[in-house]
Amino acid sequence: MTADRRAPSRIVILTGAGVSAESGLGTFRDKDGLWTKYDLEEVATPQGFARNPALVHDFYNARRANLLAAAPNPAHAALARLQRARPGLVTLVTQNVDDLHERAGALEVIHMHGELMRARCAACGHVWDAPEVMAPDDPCPACAAPATRPDVVWFGEYPYHMERIADALARADLFVAIGTSGQVYPAAGFVQEAAMAGARTLELNLEATAARFDAVRTGPASVIVPEWVAELLD
């Protein structure tokens, strides 16, 4: 027997906050989401950081504390299993700044919105492992400037790794969006980009979003992601 010809060869997966919701990390736009409690202009823009860096650090220090207390859920584990089972064929792109894909065993994760556990110097660009608690005057380990910021991409900033992601989308046979509301660009445009390049598109979410996919499956990520991966691999 040959390998299952229906199995897509190149898969690009885009994850959002919904994949980590069942690990206890808040989503942004759901009822009780982070953006219902915090003003994103104040805590997630360069202008907000310039106005009040201590407030911004407090916000990300709290996110970091939540993350350190959280653990990957079966959705992260299933995606890691898929990436390991198909070496080189599964591009895992996340909008999440958490490290739960890595902790579940994913081999390579493209963090387009940066990483909560990394710090960046706003003066020289040096990046290093974030301490649990950061403060505006923390000196950069490379240039000593007191210009420490979280290495996360804020509104109005350009996401990371866009060229690499565009390459993967152009070559994808299947594009899957998991637990993302599809309201933030450029990630929200990946489904059209992949479809235009000839990929099939699939959405896995608690509820269908407004974006157009060839197929939609609804339910909690911890259930529907392992089911989908099992269908591909077992």
Residues in touch with ligand APR (CB under 6 A): 16-18, 21-22, 27-30, 33, 95, 113, 179-181, 183-184, 205-207, 209, 220-221
Nearer to ligand APR, 112 or 140 (CB): 112
Can the peptide bond before residue 186 be classed as cis, meaning omega within 30 degrees of 0? yes
Catalytic, 113? Answer: yes
| Min CB(145)–ligand APR separation in Å | 26
Please spell the DSSP secondary structure of 183-195, one letter per residue.
-STTGGGHHHHHH
Please spell the DSSP secondary structure of 21-45, one letter per residue.
HTTT---SSSTT-HHHHS-HHHHSS
Q: Please state, in angstroms and rounded to a whole number, the distance separating the CA atoms of residues 76 and 106.
A: 8
Nearer to ligand APR, 9 or 183 (CB): 183
Q: Please state, in angstroms and rounded to a whole number, the distance separating the CA atoms of residues 46 and 150.
A: 11
Residue 39 class from Cβ within 10 Å (0-12 exposed, 13-18 middle, 19+ buried)? exposed
Nearer to ligand APR, 100 or 140 (CB): 100
Two structure tokens written together for 2:
């040959």
Nearer to ligand APR, 156 or 198 (CB): 156
Of 57, 76, 111, 113, which one is the catalytic site residue? 113
Q: Please state, in angstroms and rounded to a whole number, the distance separating the CA atoms of residues 119 and 135.
A: 11
| Min CB(176)–ligand APR separation in Å | 12
Sheet containing strand 215-218, edge to edge, reads: 109-111, 90-94, 11-15, 174-178, 200-205, 215-218
Give the number of C-alpha atoms closer than 13 A to the C-alpha of residue 110, restricted to the C-beta side: 22
| Min CB(20)–ligand APR separation in Å | 9
Nearer to ligand APR, 33 or 105 (CB): 33
Two structure tokens written together for 168:
């993967």
| Min CB(96)–ligand APR separation in Å | 6
Could you give the angle at which helices 74-85 and 221-233 cross, rounded to 10 degrees?
A: 20
Residue whose structure tokens are 């950081």: 49
| Min CB(150)–ligand APR separation in Å | 12
Active site residues: 113
